[in-house]
A and B are shown apart, each in its own frame.
Chain A
Amino acid sequence: MSRFTTFAFAISLVALSSHAQEETTPLPADQQTNGTRTLDALSLVQNTTRPSIVQIIDENGETAQLGVVVTSDGYVITKASEVPGLDLVFAWSDGTQCAASVVLMDRGLDLLLAKADRSDTIPIAWSPSTKSERGEWMLSFNKPAASAMTIRLGNISASRRSIIGHGAALGIRMDNSRTSGVRIVEVATESPAEAAGIKTEDVLIALDDQPVTDTSSLSRVMMTLQPGEQVKLRIRRGPTEHDCSVRLASKSKVVANWDGEDYANGGVSLRTDNFPDVLQHQLPLNPHDMGGPLLNLDGQAIGINIARVDRVSTFALPMETFWNKVQQWIVADRKAMDGGVPEIRPAESPERVK
């Protein structure tokens, strides 16, 4: 063996054993990346940004999602497709709750503008730049089920890009029933169909009061629907019929998670695709945290969290995709409130609610 090869051999072997180490005491939870001691350094950012975030409360009093305060007169933006209803309840950082009305929804961006009747709200500060590289630290708020909202730390994890949509799905495999309707052959784990209580051998006979005759008629209707939309299904089970209401999910998400979510922790959002531009990060958030801001270390918002995608990914819309639009919506809504004519053309506001 030549001197050189012996040397190379020794190098590799030396590296080997310095890694051979005993099992150590685990790092205490409070010192982990999102442990309380690590996050202590961020308490100033947490305290200054916290008043600009609302919790949107569902009928059970739980936090359904978060929203970002964008003006001092009560305008808030949030994710559109999973709001609990059109009559919203906001919980503020001062501990009070109030009703809020939906101004409009933009299905393309999956954003919703709502207004609370308050004139003392503190808008979030927007960052002058949303340019961000892999590895840059980011902050967001997370509302665990049983405790207070807390700031979380993570990083930009992948390339900024658009996410193509592949339509909506219920999460069923089906064939034609012997009579009219569609027979359910299989229900995907953690899918909208499963959440609605649909079981195999059920027969789907109507969707939003339109009769479903066979699989192709159902497919045609599904192509017109978007993830996040709520539809009413009429189900025949044995001799009885019943209605149930279900929120559709992104087809790509349903297919990817057919046998359940890959240790996603807290689940994934219903709509995970069809976005014009997203920032991807790995903050430990849940679907209920969508609608909250994505902040830089100075506490300035660079976007809004729009979809929890899987165990390692959350998408945020960067502010350029929506901020001009949101400002126009607000200007138009204020004019309308003053009795003026809304200036937004229908093309820019796909779904005017008020």
Chain B
Amino acid sequence: MRVQQSVGEVLPMARKALVALSTHDGAASGVIVSPEGLVLTAAHVVSDSKKHPAPGMRVRVYFDDGKQTMGTALGMDVATDAAMIQLDGQRKDWPFVELRRPQNPVLPGDWCFALGHPGGYDDKRGDVLRVGKIIKTMPNGFQSDCVLMGGDSGGPLFDLDGNLVGIHSQIWEGRDQNVHVSLAPFLRSWDIMKESEVVREWAQGSGGWLGIATRQSTSGAIEVADVADKSPAARAGLRSGDTLVSLDRRPVKTQSQFSAAIRARPAGDSVVLLVRNRSGDRIVTIKLASRPEE
């Protein structure tokens, strides 16, 4: 079966980057995402006994071969349950999974697999694999039918190409009620988390905001329908009626493709637009902002 073959191909690399964690009050999992030993896990794993976030907390880390090291909790996003740990030492050759731009968005029905150490590290059993499907996607996470339990928290969820797509966060009673944090909360606060800061506000992770509404003209071109006051688009001089020819050198074909591409970029990132109107074509570089509060 195709799924079994795909899992078999990417599993060895994924397993090497998996770690079991042991804190003062329990067992958990994590995944190494850089050769310098940066580990992603869940925020509740590195919170103290009163459930307060605890940057600086010391964590024991177990590898598949039984070797151990220590790590220190960095920052975390307690609103979405995302956290980072830095492994001790100067090693620059930890086994890791690279965070790649996924080829496809994660969608309900996609096959995926979960790794972790349910119940804690067990050297004879090793890590535990569960292949399943994405059931639902939420703004900051996914629900899957890869069954999880205590000890899996912080472990990785992969797609069939071996891309890390989520971190195990919580379960409800149903066998299909296993919830994973997506990478959005991590990547949106990457540098803040690395600085051991705590993020407390729940953010949609809706990506960059340009400040325009679009419409499709009778000829099929995508046009600016409206420009929000004081928006990045307004500051760049975009006007109602301008045609959006290309975004980052790729042709703009549909409204949904355009808005998805903008939202796939973070606030602060710049996009290059080729804009056409009666006076001709021009290239504008616009720095995206955060969507203003309504």
Q: Please give the residue numbers on chain A whose beta carbons come within 8 Å of chain B beta carbons, in ascending order.
A: 10-27, 29, 31-34, 133-137, 154-159, 161-162, 256, 262-263, 265, 280, 282, 284, 297, 310-313
Q: Is the CB of B108 within 8 A of A310?
A: no
Beyond known contacts A13-B265, A17-B205: 5 more, CB 8 A cutoff = A12-B190, A32-B145, A137-B1, A157-B129, A263-B172
Q: Distance (Å) between the CB of A349 and the closest chain B CB?
A: 29
Contact of B176 among A15, A18, A32 (CB under 8 A): A32
Q: Residues of B contacting A16 with CB < 8 Å?
A: 183-184, 186-188, 190, 205, 207, 266
Q: Is the CB of B124 within 8 A of A19?
A: no
Q: Distance (Å) between the CB of B1 and the closest chain A CB?
A: 6
Contact of A311 among B131, B135, B149, B190 (CB under 8 A): B149
Q: How would you classify the secondary structure of chain B's contact residues: helix, strand, loop or mixed?
A: loop
- The listed residue with most B CB atoms (<10 A of its CB), out of A15, A159, A262, A310, is A15
Q: Is the CB of A19 within 8 A of B266?
A: no
Q: Which residue of A lies closest to B7 (CB)?
A: A135
Q: Is B204 an interface residue (CB 8 A)?
A: yes
Q: Which residue of A lies closest to B150 (CB)?
A: A262
The A-B contact count (CB < 8 A) is 177
Q: Residues of B contacting A29 with CB < 8 Å?
A: 176
Q: Is the CB of A27 within 8 A of B136?
A: yes
A15 to B98, CA, bound (A): 11
Q: Residues of B contacting A280 with CB < 8 Å?
A: 125, 128
1/0 contact string of B257-294 vs chain A (CB within 8 Å):
00000011110110000000000000000000000000
A214 to B113, CA, bound (A): 51
Q: Residues of A contacting B138 with CB < 8 Å?
A: 23
Q: Is the CB of A23 within 8 A of B137?
A: yes
Q: Distance (Å) between the CB of A329 and the closest chain B CB?
A: 30
Q: Distance (Å) between the CB of B46 and the closest chain A CB?
A: 21
The segment from B71-79, B99-107, B216-224 found at the interface with A is B99-107
Q: Distance (Å) between the CB of B99 and the closest chain A CB?
A: 5
Q: Distance (Å) between the CB of B114 and the closest chain A CB?
A: 9
The 8 closest A-B pairs by CB, nearest first: A16-B187, A20-B205, A17-B207, A27-B108, A26-B136, A19-B184, A311-B149, A135-B7
Q: Which residue of B lies closest to A159 (CB)?
A: B126
Contact of B131 among A155, A158, A284, A312 (CB under 8 A): A155
Q: Distance (Å) between the CB of B271 and the closest chain A CB?
A: 11
Q: Is B235 an interface residue (CB 8 A)?
A: no
